[in-house]
Amino acid sequence: MTVPPVRAIFWDIGGVLASNGWDRDQRAQVVQRFGLDATDFQERHKLIVSELELGRLTLDAYLDQTVFFRPRPFTRADFVTAMLEQSEPHPETLAYARSLAGRWRMYSLNNEGRTLNDHRIRQLQLHEFLLGFYSSCYLGIMKPNPSIYRLALDLAGVDADEAVMIDDRAQNVEAARSVGMHAVQYQNLPQLQQALEALEVR
């Protein structure tokens, strides 16, 4: 049976095109910088972060519960700036992704809160080579729920076997494969290039 060619590529942002935005390591650095109680912050974060990433909670409301539930010797703006500064591009992977634009339809498919997601689209200039942004904060579903992959495929207008998902997390890769997509667990750029070349994406 002939395998259909890849027509669409879905990119995770954090851990692939850029550093993770507000993951464990990033949170730890900001919490330490502002002298917060790490255990207390983590417990508060854990209870509410999914609402932030599903787009059902604003960043201000998240910070009200995790940081500014009592007076602080720093401003909300200072804390948000520090959060956004944790996002750092992966220049070589971004350049490679850009090189594929025009020959393949490309989209983001990621879990992220709206403020950080919007910041990263601007910071990384993703609108210049991605056709759409299928983020948890817009769709109201998070990876690794298989439904988010099916919805992204429907919105992109491609069949699962015509699409490849690139993600750094094994569970997300497994979920993409469970709906019939090709999927690559990103480790580094040479490994990614080799995996995509095997799918005739060059």
The sign of the torsion formed by the CA atoms of 68, 86, 31, 56 equals positive
Distance CA 132, CA 137 (A): 14
- Which tokens go with 17? 């095109």
- Which tokens go with 76? 């909300």
CB of 14 closer than 8 Å to CB of 112: yes
Give the amino acid at 91: P
Cβ-proximal residues to 175 (8 Å cutoff; 6+ apart), any chain: 143, 144, 145, 146, 149
Pick the CATH number of 24-85 from 3.30.450.20, 1.10.760.10, 3.40.640.10, 1.10.150.240: 1.10.150.240
Looking at residue 1, what is its pLDDT?
54
CA angle 94, 139, 149 (to 5 degrees): 65
Name the CATH superfamily for 8-20+88-198: HAD superfamily/HAD-like (3.40.50.1000)
Question: Where are the domain boundaries for CATH 1.10.150.240 in the chain?
Answer: 24-85
Question: Where are the domain boundaries for CATH 3.40.50.1000 in the chain?
Answer: 8-20+88-198
pTM of the model: 0.95
Looking at residue 15, what is its pLDDT?
96
Looking at residue 4, what is its pLDDT?
79
Mean pLDDT in the chain?
A: 97
pLDDT in tens, 108-132: 999 999 999 999 999 999 999 999 9
